[in-house]
Amino acid sequence: MPQHVPYSLRAPFPQIAQHPPAPVPQPRRIVFLAHRDLDNPSAGGSELLVDRLADGLTRLGHQVTLLCGGPASPVRDYHVVSAGGTYGQFLRARTAFTRRIGDCDLLVEVCNGMPYFAPVWHHGPTLCLVNHVHTDLWKMRFGGPMAPAARIGRRLEHWALTGAQHRGLLVAVSPSTAHALRGIGVERDRIRVVHNGVEEPGPRADRSPEPLFVAVGRLVEYKRVDLLLRLWERVRPVVGGRLVIVGDGPERESLERLAGPGVEFTGHVSESRKHELLCAAWLLLHPSALEGWGLVVTEAAARETPAIAFDVPGLRDSVVDGETGVLARGESSFAAAWCTLALSGHRREVMGKAARDRAARYRWDRTVRQFRVVAGEAVKGWGS
């Protein structure tokens, strides 16, 4: 596991005031350039963030367009334009922007691995939104004979974030992402941190009377659900109950073959069903190797459900170790924390209330307001 350097020992990044001392000029026409929209079968936390930003800015009077790869749903309060398929969009984004959008006051490129290099071809203010830097994930996604593709992807991402974006600001969703950007050479004064938000959850559903543990996320390699299934075989004889895996993805078939007794795969679920499961769960389990923030941690926290995760970038931002959940330093400590909390209802309750209180500080309207300040700053500083 990577060494965890306490944030108190790190130099702070520029902070965003909740109430700026002076009005900041705001871009009226904003375009988000992203890989997917929220209706895409592969959508995750990044797509939810962009949707909430686009929707919130629209409600504040901005004219917002999402330019993304298909399939994309046009049924939004903001405009959605498809730039092509999963891979073709990267070649067609510039043409689609020119022909179907024309111009804007601010172009926000969502850098999620493979870049669009928007600042190279868009001659206007740009802003880069970064969930996490994929440095080590390229090797995980493209291993063995595909290793050359991993090296190319890593270099393209590195150049896009440090070279193509050299004139603009970058928005990181967590201190971990901000420090990863610093680690590849992005200047500190160009980075702003804007955290994810969470919806007001509404009335709580009942907690399960029997042990119930939930993991939520796309079933891909770096989420490490295979590791969770192995740990379940160590934990199940001690605590009993069920392990529910919510989500879908290319790894689902192989994961289902690995799963032992007491494991259920739900696939995609509705928001109301996800709410019920997060309320019912005794613990949220998040075995991912890396996250930008770990949005589901905050979603579970809003339902008074603590989380167990590894002490990795992003999750060490969304989980307060020993207070709103546990950050494990290895597989054995993850399993030990899982057993300990499962057997201590009082400790889970205390952590759950602390998690709920912390989640109350993260709401989407706050995220939108902070992002809007940075958007104004990006436009004001362009060309200076």
Do residues 344 and 276 share a domain? yes
218/338 same-domain check: yes
pLDDT in tens, the chain (384 residues): 334 433 333 445 555 544 444 566 789 999 999 988 998 888 888 999 999 999 999 999 999 999 998 777 777 899 999 888 877 888 899 999 999 999 999 999 998 767 888 888 888 999 999 988 855 554 555 555 655 555 555 566 666 677 655 668 999 999 999 998 998 888 899 999 999 999 988 899 999 999 999 999 999 999 999 999 999 999 999 999 999 999 999 999 999 999 999 999 999 999 999 999 999 999 999 999 989 999 999 999 999 999 999 999 999 999 999 999 999 999 999 999 999 999 999 999 999 999 999 999 999 999 999 999 999 999 988 765
**Per-residue pLDDT, 18:** 45
CATH code for position 371? 3.40.50.2000
142 in a domain, yes or no? yes
What tokens appear for 266 in the block?
A: 């739900």
Same domain, 140 and 106: yes
- Each residue's pLDDT tens digit, 184-232: 888 899 999 999 999 988 899 999 999 999 999 999 999 999 999 999 9
> Is 318 part of any domain?
yes
Q: What is the four-CA torsion angle of 188, 194, 195, 199, rounded to 10 degrees?
A: -170
Structure tokens at 236: 């199940």
The answer to whether residues 319 and 242 belong to one domain is yes
| Spatial distance between the Cα atoms of 47 and 36, rounded to a whole number of angstroms | 7
Q: Give the Cα separation of 171 and 50 in Å (integer).
A: 12
Specify if 204 maps to a domain: no
**Residue 349, domain member (yes or no):** yes
Average pLDDT of every residue of the chain:
87
What count of other Cβ atoms lies within 10 Å of the Cβ of residue 175?
20
Burial 27-61 (b: 16+ CB within 10 A, else e): beebbbbbbbbbebeebbbbbbbbbbbbbbbbeee
Q: Both 133 and 236 in a single domain?
A: no
Same domain, 71 and 140: yes
Considering the domain architecture, whether residues 187 and 268 belong to the same structural domain is answered as no
- Find the helix or strand (DSSP H, E) in which 303 lies: none
123 plus 193 within the same structural domain: yes
Residues 190 and 61 in one domain: yes
d(CA 217, CA 245): 8
Residue 225's domain spans which residues?
Answer: 212-359
State the total domains in the chain.
2
Are 216 and 351 in a shared domain?
yes
The answer to whether the CB of 116 falls within 8 A of the CB of 90 is yes
pTM for the model? 0.87
161 domain residue, yes or no? yes
Both 167 and 34 in one domain: the answer is yes
Q: Is residue 15 part of a domain?
A: no
Statement to judge: residues 371 and 293 lie in one domain: no
